[in-house]
Structure 1
Amino acid sequence: MTFEKTTIQDLILITPTVFEDSRGYFFEAYNRAKFLENGLAYEFIQDNQSFSIRGVIRGLHLQINPFAQAKLVRVLQGEILDVVVDLRRNSATYGQHFSVVLSAENKKQLMVPHGFAHGFSVLSETASVLYKVDGAYDKASERGIRYDDATLAIDWQLRPEEILVSDKDLILPGFDAIDWEV
């Protein structure tokens, strides 16, 4: 398992060591000791899974303190563009976003710490996404940023006519209007 720093401080891309043979493959998706060795001291309390069709954009979502959540995101089937936005006001990369393709094929995972908005777009015909969180869901702490915010200018790698967004996500405010303190 390798832990790779990204262009945004504290945002880590994890690539498992995959053991393949004629029967298939095996890999560790999570190993607490290895995470701790790499400075990732999260206590995950829940696994969430979603299934979506091509063109779906979920996000950008977050929870504010004291209910902020760190997420370890991976794809079980298909391919997504995983996107995070740094909302830590004291960070050198505040307001910047990072994106990476996560897929069942590449088996990469993204460790998203507290202080980030998170979302993804589905690039394959369908995708199943699994993510671990270190905090419970709290509806009153839920916030979000509209996926097509002009300030962020995220390229979701989809044609406009393909994009499918929930009614809930369509009414999210833009980056400059969101009320958060992370």
Structure 2
Amino acid sequence: MTTARATLRVFRSSVLCLALLAGAVGAAEIDEVRRLHGAGQNAEAIERARKAIAAAPKDAAMRFQLAVMLADTGRAAEARELLEQLAQEHPDLPEPYNNLAALKAAAGDLEGAKASLDQALRANPSLATAHENLGDVQLMLALRSYERAQQLDPSGTSLPAKLALLRHLLRSVPTAAP
């Protein structure tokens, strides 16, 4: 099966980080962690974020930032664990669900990505990024179904055109890492 994998849009400088700065970690510390990460000083940024979280374990903004950095540096399992904790503790926030969906889609778990995006949209029905990501996941699920149908019935005449259209659409989806 040649299912195309598109990467979903994630939140980086998130509304979440702005909304939750009432926590113990100040905006300046999050900005410094972001600056370090943006400058490619990932180990230092992650270490600094972990120290800030150790001082304020419930600070959702810094935990979200750490999850973003972990995902950016290929540590998807750690990022996913943090995002799942955030989603459980703050079910009213869509950003952790959206970023979870991106990680799940990147791992090929499209059904899980769809479920996470459904949760994000329950938390905030007006979140455009989650709507866009849900559309991308639905396209990938459709492609998977059409590919399976073609395997089962290679003589199906309508499938090649549908597959070509979906593949074309999915090529236009950004492929940046979550």
TM-score range, shorter-chain basis?
under 0.3
Which one has the bigger strand percentage?
1
Which one has the bigger helix percentage?
2
- TM-score normalised to the size of structure 2? 0.25
Larger CA Rg, structure 1 vs 2 = 2
